């Protein structure tokens, strides 16, 4: 069984982590769901690279954070924050592609 991420998470957000990196947080609603994703590594850097169509080297290894039932993913910014051509100085609207994700459910 799978379900859309939007039904499994309370928070899906992106933000700058300094001017060179974006950091994306997914905070799951249920402990079981979080454990399953963590155990199966259902969110991987390869998967994120594919969703964003960027090289795998531009994506960090997902960090699983138990106290918040959360997964953190770091991405190289396509442009340094504020450079000419910038589209999102705070990096707050770069989580969209993850919202299309479906994940296995317990």
Partner 1 sequence: MDEIRVLSATAILGYGFPDASFEAGLARGPHLIAADAGSCDPGPYYLGAGASFTDRTAVTRDLERMIRAGQRLGIPVVIGSAGGAGAAPHLAWLRGIVDEIAAGQGLRLRAAVIPADIDRETVLQALRDGRISALPHGPQLTAEDIHASTHLVAQMGTAPFVAALRDGADIVLAGRAYDPAVFAALPLLHGFDEGLALHMSKILECAAIAAVPGSGSDCMLGTLRRDHFVLEPLNPVRRCTPTSVAAHTLYEKSDPYHLPGPGGYLDLSDCVFTSEDERGVRVSGSRHIAQPFAVKLEGARLRGYRTVSVAGARDPYFIREIDTVIQGVRDRVADNFPDIPPDSYELLVRVYGADGCMGPLEPSPRPAGHEVGIVIEAVADSQDLADTLCGFARSTMLHFGYPGRLSTAGNLAFPYSPSDFHAGEVYEWSVHHLMATDDPAALFPITFVDYPGDPS
Q: Which ranges of 1-72 would DSSP assign to H, the alpha helix?
A: 5-8, 31-40, 45-52
Q: How far is the CB of 37 from partner 1 (least distance, A)?
A: 15
Longest dimension (CA), the chain: 45
Q: How far is the CB of 58 from partner 1 (least distance, A)?
A: 8
Verify binding: residue 55, partner 1, rule CB under 8 A. Answer: no
Verify binding: residue 47, partner 1, rule CB under 8 A. Answer: no
DSSP, res 88: -
73 CB-side CA count, 13 A = 28
Verify binding: residue 21, partner 1, rule CB under 8 A. Answer: yes
3-state secondary structure of 21: strand
Contacts to partner 1 from residues 65-104, by CB under 8 A = 65, 67-70, 72, 74, 76-78, 80-90, 93-94, 96-97, 100
Quick one: CA dihedral 16, 21, 26, 27, positive or negative? negative
Residues that bind partner 1 (CB under 8 A): 11, 15-21, 23, 25, 27, 51-54, 58, 60, 63, 65, 67-70, 72, 74, 76-78, 80-90, 93-94, 96-97, 100
């Amino acid at each position: 069984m799978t379900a859309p991420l939007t039904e499994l998470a309370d928070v899906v957000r992106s933000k700058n982590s300094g001017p060179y990196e974006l950091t994306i947080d997914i905070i799951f609603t249920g402990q079981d769901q979080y454990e399953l994703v963590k155990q199966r590594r259902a969110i991987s850097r390869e998967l994120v690279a594919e969703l964003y169509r960027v090289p795998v080297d531009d994506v960090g290894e997902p960090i699983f954070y138990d106290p918040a039932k959360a997964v953190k993913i770091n991405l190289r910014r396509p442009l340094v924050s504020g450079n000419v051509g910038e589209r999102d100085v705070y990096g707050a609207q770069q989580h969209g592609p993850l919202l299309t994700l479906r994940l296995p459910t317990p």
